[in-house]
Amino acid sequence: MWQVLEVTVPVFAIILVGYLYARFRASDMAVANRLNVHLFVPALLFFVLSEKLPEASAILVPALGAGFVVLASGLLAWPVAWLAGWSARTVVPPMMFNNAGNLGLPLAALAFGDTGLALAVVLFVVSMTLHFTFGVFMLHGRASLGPLVYNPILLATIAGLWAHFGDWRAPGLLRPGIEMMADVSIPLMLVALGVRLTDVDLSQWRVGLVGALLCPASGLLAAWMFIAAFGLTGPEAGLLWLFGVLPPAVLNYILAEHYRRGPGQVASIVVMGNAAALVTIPVALYFILPG
Per-residue pLDDT tens digits for 223-256: 999 999 999 988 889 999 999 999 998 778 777 8
Q: Are 234 and 85 in contact (CB under 8 A)?
A: no
Mean pLDDT of the chain: 85
Q: Tell me: the pLDDT tens digits for 58-68? A: 788 999 999 99
Higher pLDDT, 1 or 134: 134
Give the model's pLDDT for residue 63.
92
Nearest-angstrom CA–CA distance, 200 and 195: 10
**Lowest mean pLDDT: which of 136-150, 152-166, 197-211, 269-283?**
136-150
| Res. 201 pLDDT band, cuts 50 70 90 | low
Q: What's this model's pTM, rounded to 2 decimal places?
A: 0.81
CB of 176 within 8 A of CB of 169? no
| Phi, psi at 98, each rounded to 5° | -100, 180
Distance, in Å, from the CA atom of 291 to the CA atom of 278, rounded to the nearest integer, reads: 22
What pLDDT, on a 0 to 100 scale, did the predictor assign at position 133? 80
The third-level CATH classification (topology) of the domain covering 2-288 is: Na+/H+ antiporter like fold (1.20.1530)
Q: Are 125 and 115 in contact (CB under 8 A)?
A: no
| Banded model confidence at residue 189, pLDDT cuts 50, 70, 90 | confident
- Please check the confidence at residue 143 and state whether its pLDDT lies above 60: no
